Each structure stands twice: as structure tokens, then as C-alpha cells.
Amino acid sequence: MIGALLLVGFAVSLFVGFNIGGSNTGPAFGPAVGANVISKLLAGALMSVFFFIGAWTIGRRVVDTLGRELVTDPGVFTIESSIVVLFFIGGALFIGNYAGVPASTSMTAVGAIAGLALAAGELNWAVMGEIAVWWIVAPLVGFWVSGVVGRYFYPTINRWVAIEGSAGSLLEVDRSGTIPSVGLGPDTTPREVVGATVVIAIGCLMAFSSGTSNIANAIAPLYGAGVDMNLLILLGCGSVAIGALTIARRTLDTLGNDITDLPLTAAIVVAVISSGIVIALSAIGIPASFVIIATMSIVGLGWGRATRAITVSEGMRGEAKPNVSVGALTADEPGEEAPDIGEEDPDETPSAAELFNPETTGRVVLMQNVVPLLSTIGAYATFRLLFAFWW
């Protein structure tokens, strides 16, 4: 009977990993695929490799936090309870996806485990408090760092990383010789190669950061129940790879999730800031939410760029002056120079509302907090009933 239950636990865990691979590949490699730098197949392969590296190294610390340290007695994790916890993780994430809002896998997983621990009276409040503090601080750091970048440095960065696509393929394979060789396309420029390399490297960084934090969400309950961590990491990364190579193709097609619907420059800025924060938190064992941090970084970047557009309506000594636009929002087209403050065309300059939508932001932030609450409350209520009538 235990063997059959363990197989069910593996199946649910693999399903969670499968969805992690499907949802995280688009944000990581969407810009590279959208810029025709790599194929969807290569994107899935790179996601699989770098997710595994992140999971096998730094990810172990987060697995240990969720599977052992978050509860005062790891004995609350049985095969049965682990299956229920994983069910609530997957179910809550499905609700978030159905609502069209990418929910935080880490917050949802921690919520479900905390619900179990609360029902059993075994929640480690010190560890939970530390995690909660970082959940508040990390998005704020992402917001303000991105805001500063958007306010002061975005035009310069845009000129640095802009990719000017040339006709034809970036690389060509010469099969005329005995051993095929790879070379640059006929119209490929060195700048294009450098830009493409940067975009791919950023995607690999995001895949690595996803592995450091998200592997725990799929395997921590089973690890707490006593299953070997190495085996679980291998199984979890295998399911992530399957998701990255299959259902992730849809998100890579639409580029509609997380940061991938931004201009290429903005996507790179948000990816670097968010991934850096997630990796730093994972290194100290904190399960970080890339989705929340990236969302707030997007908001901060848009807010920073939007605050470059202000209106001066009154001069010195109280003299009335005509309204003058002093926006310095840069366009995102490669090679386009950012106008000096006061010299841009108001008809061609994006408005603050186009860059920062408070209504949409509020809906996203609301749902990203509601989904983890659903997993927490659902797990707590379920385990209270189970402990009362079963265990």
C-alpha cells in the first residue's frame, strides 16, 4: 500500500514540475525566441540544463527549508499528507492560470505546507517570519532598483543592447566538408552576435534562478516524508524538462506571460534584476517568488520611465507659464536616440498610462496574493478535518 501511495506522490510531484517547466520557459527564453535568436527546441533544452544546475546546487537549500525547517517536526510529512499538499499547490496554481494571472509557485507551496503545519501545531514561526519578511522586502527592492534604472539609465541601456536583425540566419552550417562547421550568416554583424549572446545568457540566468527556487515547490513535501533528495531532484528536473520541451511552446509562441511581452531591453533589465534577487535569496534558503519580484520590477521600470514625463505649469515668482512636456521616455526601436529632456515630440512619446497601468497592476497583485491564501486556507481546513477524524 505504501508503495502505491508513493507512486501517487511521485505522479503529483511530477505534474507540478511539468507545469513549472511549461510556465517558466517562456519568461526565460521568450525574448531570445521572439528575436529569432534560438529555436523553441533549443530554448527548452537550455531551460532543462540550467534549471537542473540551479536545482542541484543552490536549490538544495530551499528544499531543506521547506521540507525540514519550516515545520518543527518533519514527521507531519507522510506520503498521504504530501500528496494532499501537492494537490493544493497544483490546484491553487490552476486557479491563478485560469484567471490569467501568473501566480507565485513558491508562495503557493509555502502556503500549503504552512497550512499543514498549522493544523498539526508544528509550524516553525521563526522560519515562517523570516520568509514572510523577505517576501515583502524583495519585491520592494526589485521595484526601486528597476525604477531607478527606468528613470535614469534605460535610454543608455537600450542603445547598448538593441539587436539590429539582419536578413537571413544568424548562423549557418557548412556541410561541404567531412565535418560540418558552423559560421556566421552572410549578413550577420558582430553587434548582432553580441546582442544575441547577451539575450541567450540572460535566459540561462533566469533558468538557473528558477531551478534554485522552484525545484523545492515540486519535491519538498516528499523530501520531508523521507524520500531521498537526489532522487527527487532528478525526477523533478526530468518533469520540468518535459514541460519545457512540450507545453512551453505555447508560451514561447505568444510571449504573453510575465516579462516576455515587454520590449526586449525592458525584458533584459527585469530579468537581470529579478534573477539576481531570486538567486541571492535561494542561497540563504529563502523560497523566493520570481513571478512577484518580476511583476514588481516591471511595475517599477514602467513607473520609473513614466516619471520622466512631468508637466511644469507654473514658473518662478508665481508667473503662469504654458504647460510644457518634459518627458524623456525613450522609444524601444533599436538605434533610436533618446530625446533630451524638453525636446521630445508629445505625439510620439508614450504616456504614463501606457507604461504604468494602476488598474491592471492592482488586479495582478491582488490575485498573486489570493492564490497562495487559497492553498494555505484550503490545506489548513482539510488537515484539521483529517487530523480530527483520521490521524
Q: What is the DSSP string of 291-305?
A: HHHHHHHHHHHHHHH
Question: What integer pLDDT is reported at residue 297 of this predicted model?
Answer: 87
Determine which of 82-91, 173-182, 335-344 has the lowest per-residue pLDDT on average: 335-344
Would you state the pLDDT for residue 275?
93
**Residues 301 and 265: beta-carbon distance below 8 Å:** no
Return contacts of 259-263, CB within 8 angstroms, 24+ apart: 259/27, 259/30, 259/294, 259/297, 259/298, 260/26, 260/27, 260/30, 260/31, 260/34, 262/298, 263/332
Among 10-19, 56-65, 174-183, 307-316, the range scoring the smallest mean pLDDT is 307-316
Task: Tell me the pTM.
Answer: 0.78
**pLDDT score for 207:** 94
Contact predicate 17/237, CB 8 Å = yes
Report yes or no: 267 and 43 within 8 Å, Cβ to Cβ: no
Q: Is 228 helix (H, G, I), strand (E, B) or coil?
A: coil
Element containing residue 181 per DSSP (H, E): strand 181-184
Instruction: Record the cell numbers describing residue 295, joined without a space.
Output: 511583476
Q: Is the dihedral of CA 190, 191, 192, 196 positive or negative?
A: positive
Residue 254 has pLDDT above 60, yes or no: no
> What are the residue boundaries of the structural domains of the chain, listed by start?
2-389
Cα(first)–Cα(last) distance of the chain, in Å? 17
Look at the block and give the residue holding cell 501566480: 103
Q: What is the pLDDT of residue 65?
A: 95
Pick from 67, 29, 33: which is nearest to 48 by CA?
29
C-alpha cell at 156: 543608455
Question: Which position has the higher pLDDT, 172 or 386?
Answer: 386
> Phi and psi of 155, rounded to 5°?
-60, -40
Cβ 84 vs Cβ 379: under 8 Å: yes
Long-range contacts of 98-104 (CB under 8 A, 24+ apart): 99/367, 101/363, 101/364, 101/367, 101/368, 101/371, 102/23, 102/257, 102/258, 102/291, 102/295, 102/368, 103/291, 103/367, 103/368, 103/371, 103/372, 104/289, 104/290, 104/291, 104/292, 104/368, 104/371, 104/372
Q: In 3D, which of 223, 194, 224, 237 has the Cα closest to residue 57?
A: 237
What are φ and ψ of residue 233, in 5° steps? -65, -40
pLDDT in tens, 15-49: 888 878 887 887 788 777 876 778 889 999 999 99
Task: Check pLDDT > 60 for residue 67.
Answer: yes
| Total residues found in the chain within this entry | 391
* Mean pLDDT confidence for 38-67: 94
Q: Which of 28, 61, 26, 36 is nearest to 272 (CA)?
A: 28
Residue 341 above 50 pLDDT? Answer: no
Which whole-number Å values give the CA distances from 74 to 16, 82, 297, in the listed order? 21, 11, 35
Residue 354, C-beta contacts closer than 8 angstroms, at least 6 positions apart: none
Q: What is the mean pLDDT of the chain?
A: 77
> Which of 129, 118, 124 minimizes the C-alpha distance to 378?
118
pLDDT at 69: 94
pLDDT at residue 55, as a whole number: 97
Instruction: Give the torsion through C-alpha atoms of 273, 276, 280, 286, to 10 deg.
Output: 70
